[in-house]
Amino acid sequence: MARVHLPVVDARPERPAGQGTVTGDPLVDTFARRIRYLRVSVTDRCNYRCSYCMPETLEKSGGLSFQPRSAILSFEEIEQIVAVFADLGVRKVRLTGGEPTVRHGIVDLVRRVARVPGIEQVVMTTNGHLLADLAVPLRDAGLTAINVSVDTLDAGRFREITSRGDLPRVLAGIDAAVAAGLRVKTNAVALHGINETELVALCEDAWARGATPRFIEHMPMSDGALYDSSQRISAAVIRRTLEEVHGPLVPAETRNPDAGPARYWALANDPAKELGIISAMTEHFCDDCNRLRLTAIGELHACLGHDDAVSLRDVIRSGGSREDLVRAIAGAVSGKRAGHVFEAKAPAKHMIGIGG
């Protein structure tokens, strides 16, 4: 099949409107939010084709294709960029994709990132297909936690959602990661007509395995091509569904300053059992955003919901200095908006290319 490469996004970020506090710190935006968390997509390829992320129909229609390997950041370039971010104050790095475990040498990359001075947490989001064999090597390389996508506990439905997925294999990967001592969370995109009857079961299964379940509200990406608002299950409905079976939920007590967007809840009658909800659509968390996203081709995105970006790869490959990288990072941060506008305009970029 002929390749039509994803377009390089505009490297001139729009500056956010509204009032903000101007600062000389490159990682503090004009709304006084400090960046401490960097998500790094290591590949735009995946061994699954999930319906809400990268369906085969979108790929076959020419609406989605992969970048040439020469465009993808090398391990050395990723390490160089992470080192600059660590110097500036980033303490947590999440490796994403595509599917990060299909990147050849992923264990070595984890080792490289984990040894960068200042980086305290190296974590990963994966579909879990290769995790059973990789859990121990990843832990030994310095990985501390992992999120695994599990949208359903029905093997047939799992195959339908992912096109190529193998549920028993993924569950074995979760068990291997727990046994290896990694902190494990499960991710499920909550969708009417798909898994609304499994919300409780997904929690109970995760708890039984020693993992923390999380639910994600469906978001419109790819110009909204993969989005149907009638499928979305709100955070309030998710909580109410759990409470009907397990009683009241209370806010979880622990809050890591380097945490991502999920809000965590615990069973009032069993506080050890927690669940997280990423409520991008109905209960916004933009005021607390502490994240930037680096794509596999080195484009730095200040917000998941907007398409503008700054190319750090171009800075490096043109011979730019550390100071040049800092200026590019500061430019992206200074252009970070007050929040997304998902309901008004979906970003053109694909979830597969930005890693969520």
CATH at 178: 3.20.20.70
Is 233 part of a structural domain of the chain?
yes
Give the pTM.
0.87
**For residues 59, 60, 66 and 69, what is the CA-based torsion angle, rounded to 10 degrees?**
150
What pLDDT does 53 receive?
77
What pLDDT does 297 receive?
95
Longest Cα–Cα distance in the chain:
59
What pLDDT does 342 receive?
57
Q: Could you tell me the two tokens for 55?
A: 């369906």
Distance CA(71)–CA(67), nearest Å, equals: 6
What pLDDT does 341 receive?
52
What pLDDT does 5 receive?
31
- Return the axis-axis angle of helices 199-209 and 235-246, rounded to nearest 10°: 70
Is 15 part of a structural domain of the chain?
no
Other beta carbons within 10 angstroms of residue 24's beta carbon come to 6
Q: Could you tell me the two tokens for 195?
A: 């898994």
What pLDDT does 274 receive?
97
Low-confidence ranges of the chain (pLDDT < 50): 1-23
Structural domain boundaries, residue 296: 37-354
What pLDDT does 114 receive?
98
**Contact status, residue 161 vs residue 151, Cβ threshold 8 Å:** yes
Which is nearest to 129 in space by CA: 95, 178, 162? 162
As for how many domains the chain has, the answer is: 1
Is 3 part of a structural domain of the chain?
no
Is 19 part of a structural domain of the chain?
no
What pLDDT does 10 receive?
34
Distance CA(50)–CA(196), nearest Å, equals: 17
Q: Could you tell me the two tokens for 41?
A: 């997509």
Distance from chain centroid for Cα 152: 19
- Please name the amino acid found at residue 1: M
Is 11 part of a structural domain of the chain?
no
Is 330 part of a structural domain of the chain?
yes
DSSP letter string, 102-120:
GSTTHHHHHHHHHTSTT--
What is the helix, strand, coil percentage profile of the chain, to 5?
35, 20, 45
Which is nearest to 50 in space by CA: 131, 165, 132? 165
